[in-house]
Amino acid sequence: MYDIELNEEQRMVRDMARDFARQEVVPHAQAWEKAGWIDDGVVQAMGELGLLGMIVPEEWQGTFVDYVSYAVAVEEISAGDGALGAFMSIHNSVGCGPILRYGNDEQKRTWLPDLAAGRKIGCFCLTEPQAGSEANNLRTRAELIDGQWVLNGAKQFVSNGRRASLAIVFAVTDPELGKKGLSAFLVPTDTPGFIVDRSEHKMGIKASDTCAVTLSDCRIPAQNLLGERGKGLAIALSNLEGGRIGIAAQALGIARAAFESALAYARERVQFGKAIIEHQSIANMLADMHTQINAARLLVLHAARMKDAGLACLSEASQAKLFASEMAEKVCSSAVQIHGGYGYLEDYPVEKYYRDARITQIYEGSSEIQRLLIARELSHYAL
């Protein structure tokens, strides 16, 4: 499976993640789905394997090798369970990423080792009920009073919100400055006034906790400002490349799992005296699914390699995320179709893959936003 595209170390990471997914994730994914919660034991095990510190350097007790290794690991975990892949991608990219890039030495020393080891989990509080991709339209406010920041507002769609020990919260500090008046803060979730209102009931990735959060006179020390005052929008946007590579890899993993389930079923299911894979219409569907998955993987690995090379890859990451997420829905839909009526039942995993794949076109920037960003880059395209 795509060995030629990976070096030896990257293959070792992939194989480790695949073995873990098959042995420790797949047998439990349906139970986690019903419980609406990922088992604490598997989170601890992922931390011990280094899967939760994959973008953090060894200096801060992480396991960073390169973004290709990260992408293939997210794919493998997501093939085991899309919800766990979401948890892993979000914790790495927007839980650890902003602190790694913008935190001072004290903030890194305080948080990164525990985050990288999975002893603490991070979440990212940007989206609000009225503001999703429009990050400069936030209403949450932060005021500096007597040496403390006081935060008030509401956040929506906070992944890992109930499990997290640390929240990266974006709030307006200088309303008169518009988009230059947004700042970022490190908020321990046990701070009085940080209130998890509810866990949302979702179509898919149900085991991944997604929460609404209220900040009510939530007071944190002045030194919990992340980066410079007024640089919140830059911090929010800085993790787009890595975040979108992660979600593209998640979509890829879900699609691959759906394809493999459909392929196995097509080899076993007999209709009109032969396995349905021998019927041309089914064989063509499987051929298209396989081709689309391989094309998506090439886009994901290309974006990851550009990031590893230190090259700007916002458009490439957006292309990978756009193609992989839309591909995943098509592939999962075809997998349900190949299963026929059984594909619509919970007895078979493809109905879960179909539901899990749908979100990948929405979070970390919707497909519409990805197209907008890709189109903007075309103004600089060299002919």
220 strand-pairing partners: 149
Q: Per the residue annotation, which of 176, 364, 368, 377 is the catalytic one?
A: 364
Q: What is the 3-state secondary structure (H, E, C) of the chain?
A: CCHHHCCHHHHHHHHHHHHHHHHHHHHHHHHHHHHCCCCHHHHHHHHHHCCCCCCCCHHHCCCCCCHHHHHHHHHHHHHHCHHHHHHHHHHHHHHHHHHHHHCCHHHHHHHHHHHHCCCCCEEEECCECCECCCCCCCCCEEEEECCEEEEEEEEEEEECCCCCCEEEEEEECCHHHHHHHEEEEEEECCCCCEEEEEECCCCCCCCCCEEEEEEEEEEEEHHHEECCCCCHHHHHHHCHHHHHHHHHHHHHHHHHHHHHHHHHHHHHCEECCEEHHHCHHHHHHHHHHHHHHHHHHHHHHHHHHHHHCCCCCHHHHHHHHHHHHHHHHHHHHHHHHHHHHHHHCCCCCHHHHHHHHHHHHCCCCCHHHHHHHHHHHHHHCCC
Active-site annotation holds for 364: yes
- Active site positions, annotated: 364
